[in-house]
Structure 1
């Protein structure tokens, strides 16, 4: 019979072997539109790798400012590709780590069933008091919303009805709470497993706004963190891809 301490050591070794190494922790800045899929991915990532993921959710522009001011983030999942490219050019990231983890879609949404029609004609009718969008200067989905209004020739007509959230999560909350009758949100916020999860929505055609390519990268603070590298590889894998698609993104 093996001594107790030996059996204990073997048990620890077996556990470590299952995860490949001692569990670590990774600090991640995540674009607000990716909150729901990231929360789902985080659970699987922690279970499959043993690493712990600590995420903060917010506007891409605000995260950029925080990273430049020394925030402790090790991996950044942005809502665009230009911000990560800028950080890369400014030598704030690990060379070669940037990649597109998802391509986002924009939706016009209301929590009321039947309020938003399948063609978005409700925008032209204008029978509403408030239209919520994210801050176009800080949030790529807000910028996309302004591009849609411009393409439809509605920018001036609806200017007095627009209410801006700091990020896409706040824009969604304006609509969900009834402070705005409808709003431009990330499709992922109202979509799951092939259908709109509540209310009514118009999936805005891709040709009405510039592609929302969402890039991720390892920041300098995560250069020597095995958990940061593990997360990036996990995001490229089939399990994460299935979850990303389930929320209406493409790859």
Structure 2
């Protein structure tokens, strides 16, 4: 814990798929370092637009590796600060037990009316879902059934609320400590889509903030990695 007067606050833009683990990590971070992380959750594509237009974020925890690299190349982020903090996993999920089988054959049967996916233009998990459906040869047949969420949090909510019977969500939203928290799910094989590498980067507004660098170091540590494992991420 830092001595009085040394603690700082850092404004963090967090991809919505990483909500639950980051809430845990932020609490541990404040307790262990004295620094405070103020979290905002949303779609990576929306954060990119906001940061490009001067939004006061100091660190970005992206849902992909392309956006932080782009921000760095365009001069909005600190060169050399970027690293992969997590690798996400895509899951086909329904809140109804037994609805989704362990092989994902429910997609071929198509005995559902609505399939929720995140906007593939702004949400990397949505892009991964499109890739997986393309690899499975199901995209053309199913795209007329899509209910599209702005981000993965809204996509998850569409399924919970019944606006879609099933949807492609982040594993972290429906698994905890290796166990499915409810319903039924198929963990989409990683070979069906590009790796969901989630990169973190210090933004220009966080360049001189000691809490920004401290958070980046903390994300590489054992407590953060324990949270990643608990919510089904790899690293």
- Does the pair score TM above 0.5? yes
Aligned to 2:210: 226
Whole-Å separation in 2 of the counterparts to 1:238 and 1:19: 19
Q: Kindly state the Cα deviation for residue 94 of structure 1 after the two structures are TM-superposed.
A: 1.2
- TM-superposed deviation, 1:156: 1.1
Map 1:1-251; keep pairs closer than 5 Å. Answer: 18-19=1-2, 22-251=6-235
Distance 2:48 2:143 in 1: 28
SS of 2:201 mapped into structure 1: strand
Take 1:238 and 1:69, find their aligned partners in 2: how far apart are those partners? 35
Q: Secondary structure at the match of 2:103?
A: coil
| Distance in 2, Cα, partners of 1:69 & 1:218 | 16
Q: CA deviation at 1:22?
A: 1.4
Give the CA deviation at 1:60: 0.4
Displacement after TM superposition at 1:92 (Å):
1.0
Q: TM-score scaled to structure 2, two decimals?
A: 0.98
Structure 1: runs of 5+ lacking an equivalent? 1-17
For the residues of structure 1 that align with 2:48 and 2:134, how far apart are their CA atoms? 27
CA distance, structure 2, for counterparts of residue 42 and residue 84 of structure 1: 20
Structure 1: how far apart are the matches of 2:127 and 2:59?
A: 24
Structure possessing the higher radius of gyration over alpha carbons: 1
Measure, in 1, the Cα distance between the counterparts of 2:2 and 2:101: 49
Deviation at 1:78, TM superposition (A): 0.2
- Provide the rounded CA distance (Å) in 1 between the counterparts of 2:56 and 2:75: 16
Q: Distance in 1 between matches of 2:125 and 2:183?
A: 20
Determine helix, strand or coil for the equivalent of 1:19: coil
User: How big is the shift at 1:53?
Assistant: 1.1
Shift of 1:49: 0.9
Q: Can you give the 5+ residue segments of structure 2 that lack an aligned partner in the other structure?
A: none
Q: Distance in 2 between matches of 1:40 and 1:117?
A: 31
> Structure 1-normalised TM-score?
0.92
Q: Distance in 1 between matches of 2:229 and 2:84?
A: 14
User: What is the distance in 2 between the residues matched to 1:41 and 1:159?
Assistant: 36
| 1:12 corresponds to | none
Shift of 1:91: 1.4
